Chains A and B, each alone.
Chain A
Amino acid sequence: MKNLCFCFFLIISFLSCSGNFNITEHSETYPELFPDYINTTIPPNIAPLNFSLQEKNDDALVKFEHKDFTFQIYSTDGTFDIPLKKWKRLLQVASGNEFSVTVCVKTDKGGKEYAPFKINVAREPIDSYIAYRLIDPGYSLWNEMGIYQRELSSFKETVLYENKLTQNNCVNCHSFCQQDPSQMLFHMRGNHAGTILIQEGEIKIIQPDAKKNIPSLVYPYWHPSGQFIAFSTNKTTQDFHPTQRVEVFDHSSDVFVYDIKRNERLSTPFLDSKNNMETFPSFSPDGKTLYFCTAQAQPVPDSINRLKYNLCSVSFDINSRSFGNQIDTLFNAEKENKSISFPRVSPDGKYLLCTVSGYGTFPIWHKDADLYLVDMNTKQGRFLKTFNSNDTESYHSWSSNSRWVIFSSRRIDGLYTRPFIAYLSEDGMEGKPFLLPQKDPSYYTLLMKSFNIPEFCTDKVTFSQVDIMQKVKEETDTKFIGENSVN
């Protein structure tokens, strides 16, 4: 009898919620959502796309529909928290297809139903985790920062390293060897300067070594073998500029390959030129080619507008640990009157994705910075119109199956970088990017930090930040070595 009463109560409750939505008005337009998930393409293993209605509403309803599988959620404040189980089931049944989302809101006259929109579910899954740094998009000062990882099928965020363990020093440039969570590095600056290298379950510290000509390391990229890491070494300055909020530029920079086992620097005059500045190294997926950006040195900051970085490559032989004699130019900056940053070849080797801006080497502060895709077969490039916005698009990385790209963009408010995920099909078709979903959609509004260097990894990074801290404190000098922080 008790159970019967309870069921009756539940039914009445349900009817009273949904029954109030007597649709009296059908709108031709989509509802305004934050984040905007309308007509996006998502992976089949992503966390629920919780969203809120921009229009102020007390009562609202959202219906998710795919063939026979439908469910709806009721909200009293215009924010929808999608149940994980139902969401997973929806993605499972709609994988390789699309599902429809209909939003209804309560009005004085009854209810208004907005035009339903589609969300495409790709067949290809996305890597399980991403790692990113959370920092203040500041001018010169920082306080608390950290590197975090986030499980993409849920909202679980865990700490990789927080700088509060080492006197709020700068930690930056985390990088994985082909999305492998067991092979990772990041830099520490300040009192515990060094590069933290995690490989084969061990934590090592690479410190500047004048004898071996190993300077302070900056932009990294792992060789797919895990035996080498390409680094740039940059003398970076931050200054002000008539048009950018902040301008960061190099006075000089070189690229070299670091042999992990032998603790040696491998280089070639092409990568070590005094007249040119080389930066942003990256390897091809087969490890035989090293890509890098290079520009003719200019007097900075006065001629910073003339600082345009080409995209070049040189062959690299893992056995002889040597470079080729020929430099190939894939993107001629002078001809295009643009500057290239962060070249990244997709793991399947088909595409190279990079950031293109008007000039310089620090596109994050350039509103014109956009993502640019080069087809590696035809060597033809194009701007990714669907991915790009009127604001900055900057750092990006590929998922291990080459179908997903995560990139940082300032499109939401023009200042705080946020991680967007986008689908790119094998034949280069672009899906509409979506903002990394959060449990509470207002998370991004209240967050005063930027997402920096979003990187995919295939599994959870398991090492402990305390072990890193202890290792760092054991091995690094306590004296201040010098700050060379780059955002």
Chain B
Amino acid sequence: MSQTYNKNNHNSIVVFGGVFFFLSLLLFFHLFWKYHFLNIEQYQLFLFTQEYVKELLFDYGGLSSYLARFCVQFFIISFIGPALTALLLTAIGVLFYLSMRQSYVSKNLFVISFIPVLFLIPLHLDVNYKIEGTIALLLTFLCLFIYTRIKTPVLRILSGILFIFILFAGAGATVTLFIALMIPYELHKREKKAWIIVFPLLTWLISIWFLLKTGVKDSVTNLLLPDTYYDPKLHNSSMYYPWIVFFILFVASLFLLKGKREVKQSSVKNYWFISLGICLLFVSFYVIRLSKDREYYNFQKQSYFVRNHQWQNVIANYTAPFALQNRLNPILNLALAKQGLLGEKLFERRPKGVQDLLPQWDSTIDDAVLLSEIYYHIGDIASSQKMAFEATVASINGGSGYMLLRLIETNIIFGNYAVAKKYISILEKTFYYKSSANELKRFLYSDNEVEKDTTLANKRKALVGNGNYAVSSKVVHTLEQLAINNPENQIAIQYLAAMCLLNKDRKSFRHLLELYYGTPVWPKLSTLHQEAVVTLERNNPTFWVKNGVSLKVEQNFRTFNEVAKTKQHTPSFEREMRAQFGDTYWLYLIFDN
């Protein structure tokens, strides 16, 4: 009767505790990190092909890689990323609890066993962390759970040897953790034949030697340590924390807490402990929320809006960046250009220069994706294609479905149908991009279909006069050509004029004005353009009127001059001018480098 009671009690702890942890984590991820999960799908390409299965499964730790990529492909659907991640982490906690429970039974153990999982949460919010690390842990604790359930020592050791092989092949480096947990477990058991632990150890060592000798991995670090599950070019010491805490708690459950086996605790104490656990969970959430890089998260959020053409959301969600100016400002300016507001609001946020329009590529996948987007919307298809290709190559997980889609579009625009067809065939093997790829199929080898499609036709139209393959190193020239070829796309002329303003290149601005103002290429001057016109001939109102300067801008300029004259010798000159005219071209011209 007592046993039945304990079993029921234990089951309800697992069910209620697990569900509570899962739901808390799910909400935390969804409410605060939704766009992170939506974004990380962009860094991989998962194919439903036999070759893909072989390529991943036959590699070191292949099963976890395959399962991780399989899961991540669904992250593009809102809620799935947080849900799957929360489920994985909950499962690890439960399995760890069940493994520890073999030697130490206490209701509080459930709370304790989730402590190491808390150290995994920040890793899942790090774009450089590979989710296979968590899946590998799941496989490891599954093996550990089965291992600790086996009563017969010889059978247990034999299964341990089998698990070492399974984990080497299926999980990778977490086999180290398995060994690290298995040894103290056997020592704790104090079996007569404890020496047989030598066999799994030997298996482990021989496997390491074999894997190094055959070049599966180039170093012990990449073979046995948590770094395997992080971007190979980077190092993050917090990768080690979960493993260390798992180890400490497991050993503690074996040796330090063994005297408390089957201790009956009062319900008051239990409630305290559960409350403490819940507090710990929410404090962890709070600390993680504070400590993680929100600016990068903002970038992920803005990238999502760009991908989905939510330009108003980009503008509304813009927050002044600190470290990611070269990414967040160009995104904002693209959104402004798409809304026709670049010539109105370019200077609202103290731009640093032309890098606020087109940043220098820093060889990262993030930057490559961003630049591919900007170039695509401007109409510079060759540059967009180049950056999409670079993003595909830069991915450490076999490519990027979204960028492959961009490669299809750009190649269709160029009329390079054969290679577009190849990329379509690849995307047809994916879950999410399959339908988009199929939709693009109708354009293959059919210039008529391309001409019927407004977006593709306009972009193709803009290419006249440029080499089809050309990525120009002269951006200004390209923008001018794009603006002439397709006046309907006003983004090119907006960018061109903005470049002149940001470069304080009044000579080129005048040249553009003389050539294109009043033509379909540049039918209307925005406020900032008018402000620039005024600076071309500061004392020539006739010139201003002739070139479309409004009365409002003219009056503003007079006010600007008057205030400048009055305040120019005061110590607060710049501050006061910024307060009053911070969003004008005139202020940028005078004060900003």
Which residues on A are within 8 Å of B, measured CB to CB?
136, 138-143, 159, 162, 164-168, 239-246, 412-416, 440, 442-443, 445-446, 448, 464-466, 469
In whole Å, how far is B1's beta carbon from the nearest beta carbon of chain A? 58
In whole Å, how far is A242's beta carbon from the nearest beta carbon of chain B? 4
The residues of A that contact B50 with a CB separation of less than 8 Å are 440
Say yes or no: is B154 at the interface (Cβ < 8 Å to chain A).
no
In whole Å, how far is B51's beta carbon from the nearest beta carbon of chain A? 6
Q: Could you say which of A242, A412, A448 contacts B418, with CB atoms under 8 Å apart?
A: A412
Cα of A93 to Cα of B394 in the assembled complex, Å: 49
Cα of A446 to Cα of B473 in the assembled complex, Å: 32
The residues of A that contact B392 with a CB separation of less than 8 Å are 136, 448
The residues of A that contact B396 with a CB separation of less than 8 Å are 143
- Which are the 8 A-B pairs with shortest beta-carbon distances? A245-B469, A413-B418, A413-B419, A466-B215, A165-B218, A243-B467, A240-B471, A242-B467
In whole Å, how far is A478's beta carbon from the nearest beta carbon of chain B? 13
Report whether A245 and B471 are in contact in the complex, using a CB–CB cutoff of 8 Å.
yes
Report whether B422 and A413 are in contact in the complex, using a CB–CB cutoff of 8 Å.
yes
In whole Å, how far is B213's beta carbon from the nearest beta carbon of chain A? 6
The residues of B that contact A243 with a CB separation of less than 8 Å are 467-470
8 Å CB contacts to A: which residues of B425-446? 425-426, 429
Report whether B471 and A139 are in contact in the complex, using a CB–CB cutoff of 8 Å.
yes
Q: Which residue of B lies closest to A240 (CB)?
A: B471
Which residues on B are within 8 Å of A, measured CB to CB?
47, 49-51, 212-215, 218, 232-233, 363, 382, 386, 389-390, 392-396, 399, 416, 418-419, 421-422, 425-426, 429, 466-473
Report whether B51 and A166 are in contact in the complex, using a CB–CB cutoff of 8 Å.
no
The residues of A that contact B214 with a CB separation of less than 8 Å are 466
Cα of A465 to Cα of B213 in the assembled complex, Å: 9
In whole Å, how far is A349's beta carbon from the nearest beta carbon of chain B? 38
Report whether B470 and A240 are in contact in the complex, using a CB–CB cutoff of 8 Å.
yes
Q: Which residue of A lies closest to B47 (CB)?
A: A446
Report whether A416 and B422 are in contact in the complex, using a CB–CB cutoff of 8 Å.
yes
Report whether B393 and A166 are in contact in the complex, using a CB–CB cutoff of 8 Å.
no
Say whether, besides A240-B470, A242-B470, A243-B469, A143 and B51 are in contact (CB < 8 Å).
Answer: no
Report whether B218 and A445 are in contact in the complex, using a CB–CB cutoff of 8 Å.
no
The residues of B that contact A442 with a CB separation of less than 8 Å are 425
In whole Å, how far is B298's beta carbon from the nearest beta carbon of chain A? 26
The residues of B that contact A140 with a CB separation of less than 8 Å are 390
Report whether B471 and A445 are in contact in the complex, using a CB–CB cutoff of 8 Å.
no
Q: Which residue of A lies closest to B473 (CB)?
A: A240
Report whether A416 and B49 are in contact in the complex, using a CB–CB cutoff of 8 Å.
no
Cα of A464 to Cα of B218 in the assembled complex, Å: 13
Cα of A162 to Cα of B59 in the assembled complex, Å: 14
Report whether B218 and A469 are in contact in the complex, using a CB–CB cutoff of 8 Å.
yes
Cα of A88 to Cα of B451 in the assembled complex, Å: 50
Report whether A241 and B389 are in contact in the complex, using a CB–CB cutoff of 8 Å.
no
Report whether A466 and B213 are in contact in the complex, using a CB–CB cutoff of 8 Å.
yes
Report whether B469 and A244 are in contact in the complex, using a CB–CB cutoff of 8 Å.
yes
Cα of A464 to Cα of B214 in the assembled complex, Å: 8
Among A159, A245, A443: residue with most chain B CB under 10 A: A245
Q: A139-B390, A413-B418 are in contact. List 10 more A-B contacts (CB 8 A).
A: A136-B389, A138-B390, A141-B363, A143-B396, A167-B233, A240-B473, A242-B472, A243-B470, A446-B425, A448-B426
In whole Å, how far is B363's beta carbon from the nearest beta carbon of chain A? 6
8 chain-A/chain-B pairs, Cβ below 8 angstroms: A143-B395, A239-B473, A242-B467, A243-B469, A415-B419, A443-B51, A446-B425, A464-B213
Report whether A142 and B393 are in contact in the complex, using a CB–CB cutoff of 8 Å.
yes
Cα of A414 to Cα of B416 in the assembled complex, Å: 8
In whole Å, how far is B432's beta carbon from the nearest beta carbon of chain A? 18
The residues of A that contact B382 with a CB separation of less than 8 Å are 245
Q: Which residue of A lies closest to B368 (CB)?
A: A141
Report whether B218 and A164 are in contact in the complex, using a CB–CB cutoff of 8 Å.
yes
The residues of B that contact A164 with a CB separation of less than 8 Å are 218
Q: Which residue of A lies closest to B472 (CB)?
A: A240
The residues of A that contact B215 with a CB separation of less than 8 Å are 159, 162, 165, 464-466, 469
The residues of B that contact A166 with a CB separation of less than 8 Å are 218
The residues of B that contact A414 with a CB separation of less than 8 Å are 416, 418-419
The residues of A that contact B419 with a CB separation of less than 8 Å are 413-416
Cα of A138 to Cα of B403 in the assembled complex, Å: 14
Cα of A466 to Cα of B429 in the assembled complex, Å: 34
Cα of A118 to Cα of B536 in the assembled complex, Å: 75
Cα of A138 to Cα of B395 in the assembled complex, Å: 13
Q: Which residue of B lies closest to A466 (CB)?
A: B215
The residues of B that contact A242 with a CB separation of less than 8 Å are 466-467, 470, 472
Cα of A141 to Cα of B395 in the assembled complex, Å: 11
Cα of A240 to Cα of B471 in the assembled complex, Å: 6
Cα of A416 to Cα of B214 in the assembled complex, Å: 30
In whole Å, how far is A444's beta carbon from the nearest beta carbon of chain B? 8
Report whether A141 and B426 are in contact in the complex, using a CB–CB cutoff of 8 Å.
no
Say whether, besides A143-B393, A166-B218, A446 and B471 are in contact (CB < 8 Å).
Answer: no
The residues of A that contact B212 with a CB separation of less than 8 Å are 466
Cα of A139 to Cα of B422 in the assembled complex, Å: 19
Cα of A241 to Cα of B466 in the assembled complex, Å: 11
Q: Which residue of B lies closest to A468 (CB)?
A: B215
The residues of A that contact B213 with a CB separation of less than 8 Å are 464, 466
Cα of A244 to Cα of B213 in the assembled complex, Å: 43
Report whether A448 and B399 are in contact in the complex, using a CB–CB cutoff of 8 Å.
yes
Cα of A241 to Cα of B470 in the assembled complex, Å: 6
Q: Which residue of B lies closest to A244 (CB)?
A: B469
Cα of A469 to Cα of B215 in the assembled complex, Å: 9
In whole Å, how far is A262's beta carbon from the nearest beta carbon of chain B? 32
Q: Which residue of B lies closest to A439 (CB)?
A: B51
Cα of A415 to Cα of B392 in the assembled complex, Å: 15
Cα of A313 to Cα of B541 in the assembled complex, Å: 73
In whole Å, how far is A431's beta carbon from the nearest beta carbon of chain B? 24
Cα of A413 to Cα of B49 in the assembled complex, Å: 21
The residues of B that contact A244 with a CB separation of less than 8 Å are 467, 469-470
The residues of A that contact B51 with a CB separation of less than 8 Å are 440, 443, 446
In whole Å, how far is B397's beta carbon from the nearest beta carbon of chain A? 10
In whole Å, how far is A199's beta carbon from the nearest beta carbon of chain B? 21
Cα of A245 to Cα of B418 in the assembled complex, Å: 16
In whole Å, how far is B370's beta carbon from the nearest beta carbon of chain A? 15
Cα of A246 to Cα of B393 in the assembled complex, Å: 16
Q: Which residue of A lies closest to B390 (CB)?
A: A141
Q: Which residue of A lies closest to B466 (CB)?
A: A242
Cα of A140 to Cα of B387 in the assembled complex, Å: 10
Cα of A168 to Cα of B222 in the assembled complex, Å: 14
Cα of A92 to Cα of B311 in the assembled complex, Å: 67
The residues of B that contact A446 with a CB separation of less than 8 Å are 47, 49, 51, 425-426, 429
